[in-house]
Amino acid sequence: MGSALLIASMRTFLDAGLDGAGLGVDTSDPDGALELFESVGYESEEMVVLYGRELEATATSG
């Protein structure tokens, strides 16, 4: 089902006159997403890894 959605999207991009498409993924399983994307012809061009951390307020002595 995911590949059908991607293919339909790419067709609308072509109909709109676009000659390329890009994807981003936010998942704990990027390999699964990569398999799906590659199955419809996408190729990895760049990878960005983003690290985050929650901060907790701490009491300061003064």
**What pLDDT is attached to residue 14?**
95
**What pLDDT is attached to residue 12?**
96
**What pLDDT is attached to residue 62?**
57
Per-residue pLDDT tens digits for 1-60: 899 999 999 999 999 999 999 888 877 777 888 889 999 999 888 877 788 899 998 777
Query: CB burial class (10 A; 0-12, 13-18, 19+) of residue 24?
Result: exposed
pTM as predicted: 0.65
**What pLDDT is attached to residue 16?**
97
Structure tokens at 23: 């994807």
